[in-house]
Amino acid sequence: QVQLVESGGGLVQPGGSLRLSCAVSGTIFSIYAMGWYRQAPGKQRELVATITRGSNTNYVDSVKGRFTISRDNAKNTVYLQMNSLKPEDTAVYYCNMVTYYSNSYHPRSDYWGQGTQVTVSS
């Protein structure tokens, strides 16, 4: 049974930084590509960043240069370092295993974690 537990969110001022963590259990973490998603009120869930098992990364244009995804296979954890935060980054952030097909990434698990709230406001 795969479990995904996100943490590290909070309230920060514009320009601030946060580091999100996603602890994965119940599967062989190291073989899967991972992704961070976010969902703001009234908006669709958006894939923000991905990292393959070989540590190749990909980002949505709106966060390039500001966010960095990384993974620690020994700790079964994926991270999202968020710098220069903007109010439009406000959302609940989720992680999931991802797979690439039909020219896009798709979540592997139907069971999402609780997410972690990121609020960027002055």
pLDDT tens for 35-71 read 999 999 999 999 999 999 999 999 999 999 999 999 9
100 CB neighbour count, 10 Å cutoff: 12
- The pLDDT of residue 1 is 85
Look at strands 91-101 and 67-72 and give their pairing: unpaired
- The pLDDT of residue 109 is 93
Per-residue pLDDT of 18-31, as tens digits, reads 999 999 999 989 99
Q: Are 62 and 87 in contact (CB under 8 A)?
A: no
Per-residue pLDDT of 101-117, as tens digits, reads 999 999 999 999 999 99
- The pLDDT of residue 62 is 98
- The pLDDT of residue 60 is 98
